[in-house]
Amino acid sequence: MTSKTHVCLIQCDYPKDHSFIIKDIIFPPLGLEYLAANIGDLAEIKIFDNRFPEYNLKNLKKEFENFHPDIVGISVNFSNQIYHANAIAKIAKDFGAKVLMGGWHATAVPEDTLSFPWTDLVIRGEGESALRNLIIKGSPSDIKGISYKKNGKIIHNPDQELLDLNSSNPPARNYRPKFAKKYYNFFGVPVDSMETSRGCPYRCKFCNIHNFYHHKYRTRSIRQIIQDLNQINESVKLVYIIDDNFTAYRSHVIEVCNAIIKRNIKKAFMSTSRLDQVVKYPEIYELMAKAGFIFTFVGIESFSNKTLKSLNKQLELKQIRKGIKILHDLGFIIEGNIILGANYNDTKKDLESTLEIAKSLDIDIPTFSLLTPYPMTDLWDEVNEKGLLLSGIDWHKFNWNNPIIKYPHLSPEDLKYYLNKAYFEVRRFKNPLNKFVNILRARGLSFFISTFLTQGGIKSLIHFIKRIYPDFLK
């Protein structure tokens, strides 16, 4: 009997200065768990989350020594992960493994990714089919969606077709180590993730999701969504729907929410949203609130209509204000991101105005970033065509916090100053007690009793309050 291929799948860590990825927010590597679920019959599998100290570089070396991997797959979504990913790849090569990389960054710049000596292959786009075929065939030749090295040259096989989401297995959460539950959290609340769709029908200039998924938006069946949701541990009360744009198709949102309500699933959900959709279709968000959705991520990006139009955001300031009010009236907690320097012609006065407007809006958790031209975005193409990169490409700096673009009226020092000022002056949860009362008024006492006064619920609620507002319980 032929022994199974030994496959290690690794969630790569981030540089320590990557402030967007902090200990307060760590979600499970659901993408790797989908990969594992689709090769379980062919391979012995280990998933190592390199964000855990238990799986740092030193300990990964020990794990490789014990497991003897044939293939090591490393997820590289964000550009500034690539150097850390290469440190892992070097260790894997020392043990004779074939190293492949995947994710947004590797897909966007496969030749750059393969320029490092320790990487053998790149899977471009979705990995389920390509990885399975690679294990079966043993060679990347003729496998769609793979780029690889051969005789000193880089070969790019044709793109693969997008996966039929309903033909894939649910994510294999069983590969998580027991200690993982102490790390996966959202501001102290234990959290799990699930996926109901892939892709986004919009074309924001700074985002590469529409290109990554070839401008397609696909949904999973309700049967599969509920099957996946039932896998999640009962004690985990918060579920993050990781879809790129969960509310893109109203019919899909309605189906998901009605299924949750019909089955009396008592969990709190978080997802992405668009404020223009909130304003156009408030009834959808009423239904989401009824189903248990309580937290939403929104991309505000700018308060200038002209700038929003230039970013292909399809959003206006009046919709931002109205959308925030609608969500708050329904008892949602809002995290909203604002891009500083979203317009090339911004001045210090513009950034001061941005901060003043941000202070006036009741964004529960405001976040700020600098305009960053990630590969495979329209912004990347534009910045390169116009010669607006500050210096040569250093992926370490692609973290939303470092100035990357030349501005005629703003220096890199100006951008850093206003980014720090934004986080210092624009407070999150300005009045937590009022916020709690508003949510209670909108959702009713029964929501909190059924969701949080259960196994793990009270502990989760206390963790969240203490992490968001540490002086609240003193």
Higher pLDDT, 279 or 16: 279
Do residues 240 and 306 both lie within one domain? yes
Q: What is the CATH number of the domain that holds 113?
A: 3.40.50.280
289 pLDDT above the threshold of 60:
yes
Higher pLDDT, 15 or 337: 337
Do residues 38 and 149 both lie within one domain? yes
Q: Give a yes or no: residue 124 inside a domain.
A: yes
Which pLDDT score is estimated for 21? Answer: 45
Q: How confident is the model at residue 19 (pLDDT cuts 50, 70, 90)?
A: low
Q: How confident is the model at residue 139 (pLDDT cuts 50, 70, 90)?
A: very high
Strand partners, 198: 218
- Sign of torsion over alpha carbons 446, 448, 454, 458: negative
Q: Give a yes or no: residue 466 inside a domain.
A: no
467 pLDDT above the threshold of 90:
no
Do residues 225 and 97 both lie within one domain? no
CA 191 to chain centre: 14
Which pLDDT score is estimated for 1? Answer: 41
Which pLDDT score is estimated for 435? Answer: 78
267 pLDDT above the threshold of 60:
yes
Do residues 61 and 196 both lie within one domain? no
What is the rounded distance in angstroms from the CA atom of residue 385 to the CA atom of residue 375? Answer: 13
298 pLDDT above the threshold of 70:
yes
Q: Give a yes or no: residue 96 inside a domain.
A: yes
| Mean pLDDT, the chain, integer | 90
Residue that finishes a domain, picked among 136, 156, 176: 156
- Sign of torsion over alpha carbons 81, 84, 88, 89: positive
Q: Give a yes or no: residue 179 inside a domain.
A: no
What is the rounded distance in angstroms from the CA atom of residue 248 to the CA atom of residue 472? Answer: 36
Residue that finishes a domain, picked among 156, 177, 196: 156
Q: Give a yes or no: residue 472 inside a domain.
A: no
What pTM did the predictor assign? 0.91
Q: What average pLDDT does this structure show over 216-240?
A: 92
Which tokens is 446 given? Answer: 């029964």
Q: How confident is the model at residue 94 (pLDDT cuts 50, 70, 90)?
A: very high
454 pLDDT above the threshold of 60:
no
Determine contact, residues 293/270, Cβ cutoff 8 Å.
yes
Q: Give a yes or no: residue 410 inside a domain.
A: yes
Q: List b or e across 253-278, with b for residues whose CB sees 16 or more CB atoms inside 10 angstroms.
A: bebbbebbeeeebbbbbbbbbbbbbb
Which pLDDT score is estimated for 186? Answer: 86
Which tokens is 354 given? Answer: 């941005």
Least confident of 129-138, 230-239, 399-408: 230-239
Q: What average pLDDT does this structure show over 264-291?
A: 95
Q: What average pLDDT does this structure show over 420-445?
A: 84
- Structural domain tally of the chain? 2
Dihedrals phi, psi of 375, to nearest 5 degrees? -55, 150
Q: What average pLDDT does this structure show over 200-210?
A: 92
What is the rounded distance in angstroms from the CA atom of residue 208 to the CA atom of residue 77? Answer: 11
Higher pLDDT, 319 or 448: 319
Q: What average pLDDT does this structure show over 84-104?
A: 96
For residue 84, the enclosing domain spans: 5-156
Which pLDDT score is estimated for 421? Answer: 96
What is the rounded distance in angstroms from the CA atom of residue 238 to the CA atom of residue 294? Answer: 9
Determine contact, residues 71/7, Cβ cutoff 8 Å.
yes
Q: Give a yes or no: residue 171 inside a domain.
A: no
Q: List b or e across 192-213, with b for residues whose CB sees 16 or more CB atoms inside 10 angstroms.
A: bbbbbbbbbebbbbbbbbbbbb
Q: What is the CATH number of the domain that holds 382?
A: 3.20.20.70
The sheet carrying 153-156 orders its strands as 43-49, 5-11, 71-75, 98-102, 121-123, 146-150, 153-156
Do residues 113 and 194 both lie within one domain? no
Q: What average pLDDT does this structure show over 104-118?
A: 96
Query: CA-based angle 280:285:291, to the nearest 5?
Result: 160
Helices (H) and strands (E) in the chain, counts: 19, 17
Dihedrals phi, psi of 346, to nearest 5 degrees? -60, 145
Q: Give a yes or no: residue 469 inside a domain.
A: no
Which tokens is 380 given? Answer: 């990347």
Q: What average pLDDT does this structure show over 304-315?
A: 88
Per residue in 42-58, pLDDT (tens digit) is 999 999 999 999 999 99
Determine contact, residues 444/412, Cβ cutoff 8 Å.
no
Give the rounded percent of residues in the chain with a pLDDT score beyond 90.
Answer: 77
